[in-house]
Amino acid sequence: MSHELVYKAALAHPCAPRHSDILSSTQLTSQYLSNVCLLQLRGKHKVNQEKARSDANRCFVCGPGNTAGLQVEFRLEGEVCKAEHTIAAHHCGYDNVTHGGIIFALLDDVMANWLFLKGDRAYTGKCDIRFREPVEPGTTLSLEGRLTSRKGRMAKMKGRATAPDGKLVAEAIGTFIVIPGE
């Protein structure tokens, strides 16, 4: 796969903006290719969902090209971004409880993907999470993300993770900064 294709896919992905560097396609080395989600790529680029869903997308949560990742498939149903994810045993901390970072990543991405599926690129400006219940491995979480308000480039989002019995296990409130399109 060409570096140019990976570069363009990275620009399109909601996780792309993370550092203050501006990288050109010639600057993408294997170091950057190994973790596309850590790139801060500024500019005016429309979301190309086909490329972002390709193997070039190495996002830990939703990247099909990241075999060590969660590979969550998000979808938009009306005004709600939804997904399901079954927690693996190797994502647990002590006492057979899912690591909070995994749940945080799932909620961050369900909110970011609402914007992404609407055609916007954005990055997380701030995110607060409230853990309500421990989650054991093998539990299939239902994830929901939605827009609560938008003012200019600032989008306020809400995310929820529920257990199969409908019990709320975690919720998040995030502020996302939308990158202007072309």
Tens-place pLDDT, residues 131-173: 999 999 999 999 999 999 999 999 999 999 999 999 999 999 9
Are residues 79 and 67 part of one domain? no
Are residues 80 and 65 part of one domain? no
Question: What single letter denotes the amino acid at residue 155?
Answer: A
How long, in residues, is the chain?
182
pLDDT, residue 54, reads 57
Are residues 39 and 2 part of one domain? yes
User: CA-CA distance, 171 to 8, in Å (whole number)?
Assistant: 32
Are residues 66 and 34 part of one domain? yes
Please report which helix (H) or strand (E) contains residue 52, including its range.
Answer: helix 49-52
Tens-place pLDDT, residues 5-29: 344 444 445 554 443 333 433 333 3
Whether this prediction's pTM lies above 0.85 is answered by no
